Amino acid sequence: MRAVVFDSVGGPLEVRDVPEPGCPPDGVVLDVRATGVCRSDWHAWRGHDPVALPHVPGHEFAGVVARVGADVTSWRPGDRVTAPFVCGCGVCAYCGAGDPQVCPGQTQPGFTHHGSFAEQVLVRAADFNLVRLPGSMSFVAAAGLGCRVATAYRALTAHGRLAAGEWLAVHGCGGVGLSAVLLGTHSVPASWPSMCRRRHRSWPANAGPRRSSTPPLRATSRP
């Protein structure tokens, strides 16, 4: 398959043929349909976040399931999916508590293994990590959700506890900052909080969104 590769820290990025990713029993290989470019990719390229070389970056992606590991029960070829920036192991206490971003066995396409600047990418612990895309959502829109939008969403809701009618100040409008502005100035679908919390608990990963009693954020945009 074709992929973007760098062979040295800070070295040139080259598009060339590389082997397709293998598919472990708990993993899924996706055909990448869209991928974002993130500051975190730059950190890996510059050596701030060490990766094995040669390396294929890319961790903000959406695509179609191409191959499914023998132990995966929730996904089949053809499913449209995305995944979070940090993929948990799915079995440890942190993952069970809904905190896979601090899972000691976490994996990150584009860091712990080759990423999505390629025709295919591997997602490990696929039953735990993959999120099904609604039919109305484009791959391009979905590719941004797992990293920048999810980070901004948690910052506004879990940490900032932004409520309707409040002012929101965002300092630094990169990917995360622009996502925070987007979320803070538009209603958030009520299903989002439900999906974020329940994905790591009882709500089946392949069951799709459902309505939540959590009130949506409301527009607070002001001149």
Residues making contact with Zn ion (CB under 5 A) = 38, 40, 60, 88-89, 92, 95, 103, 147
Residue 85 CB, shortest distance to Zn ion, in Å, is 6
Residue 45 CB, shortest distance to Zn ion, in Å, is 13
Query: How many C-beta neighbours within 10 Å does residue 97 have?
Result: 12
Residue nearest to Zn ion (CB): 38
- Residue 174 or 215: the one with the smaller Cβ distance to Zn ion is 174
| Residue 9 region by backbone torsions, left for phi larger than 0, else alpha for psi between -120 and 50, else beta | beta
Q: How far apart are CA 128 and CA 199, in angstroms?
A: 8
Residue 121 CB, shortest distance to Zn ion, in Å, is 14
**Which residue intervals of the chain are DSSP H helices?**
39-46, 93-96, 126-129, 139-143, 150-154, 175-184, 191-198
- Residue 24 or 216: the one with the smaller Cβ distance to Zn ion is 24
Residue 139 CB, shortest distance to Zn ion, in Å, is 16
- Residue 20 or 99: the one with the smaller Cβ distance to Zn ion is 99
Token code pair at residue 1: 């398959």
- Residue 89 or 152: the one with the smaller Cβ distance to Zn ion is 89
Q: Tell me which amino acid residue 117 is.
A: F
- Residue 80 or 200: the one with the smaller Cβ distance to Zn ion is 200
Q: How far apart are CA 185 and CA 192, in angstroms?
A: 16
Q: Helix, strand, or coil here: 140?
A: helix
Residue 222 CB, shortest distance to Zn ion, in Å, is 29
Residue 211 CB, shortest distance to Zn ion, in Å, is 28
Q: Evaluate whether 169 touches 88 at the Cβ level (below 8 Å).
A: no
Q: Evaluate whether 46 touches 10 at the Cβ level (below 8 Å).
A: yes
- Residue 166 or 200: the one with the smaller Cβ distance to Zn ion is 200
Backbone angles phi, psi at 182, to 5 degrees: -60, -50
Q: Evaluate whether 162 touches 184 at the Cβ level (below 8 Å).
A: yes
